[in-house]
Chain A
Amino acid sequence: MRTVLMASVRRYARRYVAAVLAVVLGSAFVVVTATIASATKAGMLNDLATAYRGADVVVTGLDPASADRALARIGTASVNASAYPAVVVGGAHLDDVAVGSVASHQSLRWQHLSTGRYPRASDEALVDAGAARQNGIRLGERLSLDGRDYRVVGTSRHANGHLAAAVYLTWPAMQRLRDQVSVTDLVVGGSDAGRVRGVVGSATVEPVDAYLAAQAKRMTRNVDVVATMLLLFGAVAFFVSILVIANTFTVLLAQRQRDFALLRCVGATRRQVMRSVRLEALTIGIGAATLGTVLGVLVGRLLLVLAGHVLTALPVGRAHVGWGWLLAAWLTGVLVTAVASVLPARRATRVDPLTALRPLGAVDVRSRAGAARLALGMVLILAGAAMLALAMLGHLPLVMVGGGAISFLGLLLLGPVIVPACIRAAGLLTGRLLGVPGRLATANAVRNPRRTAATAASLLVGTTLVTGMVVGMATIRAAVDTAMDADHPVDVSVVGTRALPADAARRVAAIHGVREAVALRGVTATSDTRGARLGPTTVVALPAASDVPRGSALSHLAPRTAYVPWSLMNDFAQQDRLTLTAAGRSVRLHVVGLGGIDGGIVVSQATLRQLAPQAGVRGVWARAGDHADADTVGTRAADLARAWHAQAAGGLKQRAYVHLQLDVMVYAVLALLSVSLLIALFGIANTLGLSVLERTHEHALLRALGLTRAQLRATLAVEAVLLAAVTSLIGVVVGSVYALVGVRTLLDRALGDEAIHLTLPWGQLALVVAIAALAGLAACVLPARRAVRVSPAAGLAVE
């Protein structure tokens, strides 16, 4: 049998392309994931070690006061602390700027200087080079942190790690931020734990090695969690691989049934034939898995080199992928091939020797889904649906995953009924539009329901997951947007303590990306509340009937009510009473809203008229267009604000940041799923190629009867597009249902009581189908080219 085996592998190797590619991609994915995880771990540990370079002892569990006391009593020590103060640079508010500390002892300073010098005085700051570049901060510039000014005296090389920040201050400077500051730890150089323990009292004192070991453990655990999640996508890819490989084997072995029967005729036992087929599968699996593992190592290396140059924010270190990982990736590849080939091999080798003697044309090429299979499919779908319903009602994520898997399995089992039926329905349309090629394509696409369903299954997995992801994220995005409308109703605000030019609103509206701007009339007033007098604040009137503010938070203010800005939030609570006084006139109001905006108390038009009948323009609110670039809008608004001695603020950057985060997540998941999609598409191309090969004689016959080359090409293209588009359409529907279940199960609580509405991003969903259809078209290019090249006479000669 060995000669038969070798000859088969040689002869049919090219037809296994999809199976090989599926295994290669799956194995490579695992190795690349392991490489990146290992590099990230190494990078994190490296950052960690760098940040504690000069330290011998680490003290944790300190508050700013006790840290300060300890510092005074230990010679070489430094406090690592962090704070998130309100940062203003050149008139513009910066969001989420982390402030960290820089040691005064040279031996404990871990930041590398790029330009300038380290800060010494308590009004000097060191800025991370990356943050400086991003925010346009230059050496010598002034930063305002919580209203106090600091001068930038140096920039440091961009760093990562848990002590890294955008701005670094000395400990005395940091202490001026007071209640904002939280102490990470206190590091001590040139001492030992025993001596330090005597000084710090109840705080935890550890030698630096022990501390770093504990930290490293925590961090690598986080990386492992992420890596495990990445490997889930690898599992999906391997699942799709199994579908593709099994289908490839089924098709290929079915085509070779006569070979097997002939072997049986000349005396081979069933066992021998079966063993030969299994060995063939194993040979292919081993070859493909080896190729995939090697490819994974190479791609992993390449990605790390790229990441080192492009993604400086990622902690990338030297990757060390253990043999265990490589072996696991390789073995999985081999196993997947072996498992996927078991059923097709058994089915194909069950032929009786007589089949060889029967003419091929007499074998019925149609197959029917077995009744048992259909019944099982129905049961699984119903059981899965029941579990999904239960999961939604009880918010049970695990039940949801189980229900999803079970119902999807049921769907795959029902594939031979569902997919051809849908294709036939869609085929009515193509038949009407394209005539004979359209009708032939439909007939070809559904003639072997099992094969059609098996081919569709792999793509169905991918499109369902993609749709679930896309719809889920769109829904989350809509919910987050609603929440953000309440928290940040104004995109851009420029409000000053003096009058603004009369054309201020026009100038803001002229900024590229701003859709609409409205002037705010206002006045400077003093406010009294809870028996205390606050300094002069700007009071502006809510513009009448404007859709500049988002959501409902600022759509209307009743007379005698006030909306208090972010900067005064600490002084007020909801329903507080306050009195505003300007030029002898007073109004008594109560607070109905807090936060969300910057720059001035907002009152109604009527209230402002009472307070200051002649109030002039004090500010501008603007709403950005949907695709505005938050950074440029922010910078341009800040430029205007500086010129007008006003301050620019607004929620646009925050909104853009949140959108970016969501987008990154979507794209990351899509990128990870693309491996599975790619495998599925190779599967479609391969099955199509094999079917075309199988139909050479038919094509010749059709050509003889008058089908032109163009028509034959169209027939194959329509068949591929029908299969891909209809499958992805089913995937989109199923995926949307799963997304609904997922949102109801996972998010109904997380996002509060507000009812969540499933948001269907029609454009993106149409894109999923369009891409699948295009990919189907691409998949048929090669097979079609081969098919039309065969002359009718040559095709008829093929048995």
Chain B
Amino acid sequence: MTTTQQQTGSQQTALAASARDLVRTYGSGETAVTALAGVDLDVAAGRFTAIMGPSGSGKSTLMHCLAGLDTPTSGSVVVGGVELAGLDDTRLTLFRREHVGFVFQSFNLLPMLTAGQNIVLPLELAGTPVDRVWLDDVVGVLGIEDRMGHRPSELSGGQQQRVAVARALISRPDIVFADEPTGNLDSATSLEVLAFLRRSVRELGQSVVMVTHDADAAAHADEVVVIEDGRVA
């Protein structure tokens, strides 16, 4: 992982993720819905990329396919130099565990674990020891040091999202995906979370892809990709 980090650090033009002719259809026959109708996309490493588009345009589907959470109907996805199409479920899971971080719109945290336990969960799953310095760093940057022993139900929505961001960053993944991370937050808290994501790109060299249909949110990004009717507009 450290080597990957250095690579992405040195080659600013390298790709964190790319999709070629990505198609995803749901159902079959008369009721078939084409969520993605041939998407070609390159996500540059070390950049903050926003995916925008109207509701139902396929943003979430694209993100799920890019992140290896969903299997596309056809087309290819490469993340961190690895072609996802050839991986079976277990290898895909191990790949996510080590190379991808996530922040979702809501229900990001496991209710029975404390904030701290939630943050280090990806490391525990991978059996990787926790890098204390890095953990303190991330937690400190996000300002949630004093919340580590609380359970999600005892945290505000903004705090929960910050914990989720910390969890996404803790394993220093190749790429972090965020699906409307600020969708449930008021504008002030939204700004905070966006600022943190932005900071992680600037200061930590992290690649971040964020889905949003909020133009204000997209304004924080380095690049904006617009999706319409399952295609890059």
Contacts and interface: CB of A to CB of B under 8 A. Distances in A.
A706 B112 contact: no
B191 interface: no
A365 B90 contact: no
Interface string A355-388: 0000111111110000000000000000000000
Given A443-B113, A444-B112, A708-B93, A791 B107 contact: no
Contacts of B127: 435
A435 B127 CA distance: 9
B90 A792 contact: no
A443 B112 contact: yes
Nearest to B111: A365
B185 interface: no
Contacts of B90: 708-710
Interface stretch (B4-12, B95-103, B197-205): B95-103
Nearest to B152: A361
A705 B122 CA distance: 6
B189 interface: no
Contact of B108 (A359, A447, A701, A706): A701
A708 B127 CA distance: 13
B89 interface: yes
Nearest to A435: B127
Given A361-B152, A793-B69, A702 B110 contact: yes
B106 A703 contact: no
B1 interface: no
B176 to A, nearest CB: 12
Given A361-B152, A365-B111, A698-B110, A704 B102 contact: yes
Interface string B180-223: 00001000000000000000000000000000000000000000
8 contacts: A361-B106, A436-B125, A702-B125, A703-B69, A705-B97, A706-B125, A708-B93, A791-B71
B121 interface: yes
Contacts of A444: 112
Contacts of B125: 436, 702, 705-707, 711
Determine the interface band of chain A, counting residues with CB < 8 A from chain B.
Answer: 20 to 34
B15 to A, nearest CB: 22
Interface string A759-798: 0000000000000000000000000000000011110100
Contacts of A93: none
B19 to A, nearest CB: 15
Interface in B54-111: 61, 64, 67, 69-71, 89-90, 93-94, 96-98, 102, 104, 106-108, 110-111
Contacts of B93: 703, 706-709
Contacts of B102: 704-705
B137 interface: no
Contacts of A709: 89-90, 93
Contacts of B94: 706, 708
B130 interface: no
Most buried by A among B71, B97, B107: B107
A704 B69 contact: yes
B126 interface: yes
A697 interface: yes
Contacts, number: 86
Interface of B: 61, 64, 67, 69-71, 89-90, 93-94, 96-98, 102, 104, 106-108, 110-113, 121-122, 124-127, 152-153, 167, 184
Contacts of A360: 107
Interface in A602-620: none
Contacts of B126: 706
Contacts of A703: 69, 93
Contacts of A366: 111-112, 153
A435 B108 CA distance: 22
B153 A697 contact: no
A793 B72 CA distance: 11
A42 B118 CA distance: 68
A710 B127 CA distance: 15
Given A436-B125, A443-B113, A792 B70 contact: yes
Nearest to A360: B107
A796 B184 contact: no
Contact of A359 (B61, B70, B106, B167): B106
Contacts of B61: 793
B111 A447 contact: yes
A793 B70 contact: yes
A252 B137 CA distance: 43
B64 A793 contact: yes
Given A705-B121, A706-B122, A796-B104, A362 B110 contact: no
Contacts of A364: 153
Interface string A633-653: 000000000000000000000
Contacts of B110: 443, 698, 701-702
Contacts of A447: 111-112
Given A710-B90, A791-B71, 17 more contacts: A361-B106, A364-B153, A698-B111, A702-B110, A702-B125, A703-B69, A704-B69, A705-B102, A705-B125, A706-B93, A706-B96, A706-B126, A711-B125, A791-B69, A791-B70, A792-B70, A796-B104
A704 B127 CA distance: 16
Nearest to A443: B112
Contact of A361 (B69, B96, B107, B122): B107
A359 B96 contact: no
A702 B107 CA distance: 11
Contacts of B67: 704
B62 to A, nearest CB: 11
10 smallest CB-CB distances across A and B, nearest first, come from A706-B97, A793-B70, A793-B64, A447-B112, A443-B112, A792-B69, A793-B69, A706-B125, A708-B93, A364-B153
Nearest to B127: A435
A307 B167 CA distance: 65
Contacts of A793: 61, 64, 69-70
A796 B67 CA distance: 13
Nearest to A442: B112
Contacts of A792: 64, 69-70
B88 to A, nearest CB: 10
Contacts of A363: 153
A138 to B, nearest CB: 70
A791 B112 CA distance: 22
Contacts of B152: 361
A431 to B, nearest CB: 11
Contact of A436 (B69, B112, B124): B124
A68 to B, nearest CB: 86
Contact of B96 (A362, A705, A794): A705
Contacts of A365: 111-112, 153
Interface string A426-455: 000000000110010001100100000000
A427 to B, nearest CB: 12
A277 B105 CA distance: 34
B151 to A, nearest CB: 8
Nearest to A437: B125
A445 to B, nearest CB: 10
A365 B107 CA distance: 13
Interface string A458-500: 0000000000000000000000000000000000000000000
A444 B124 CA distance: 17
B70 A697 contact: no
A702 B112 CA distance: 13
A367 B102 CA distance: 29
Contacts of A705: 96-97, 102, 121-122, 125, 167
A433 to B, nearest CB: 14
Contacts of B69: 703-704, 791-793, 796
B124 A697 contact: no
Most buried by B among A703, A705, A796: A705
A23 to B, nearest CB: 32
Interface in A486-545: none
A363 B110 CA distance: 13
A435 B122 CA distance: 13
A657 B153 CA distance: 64
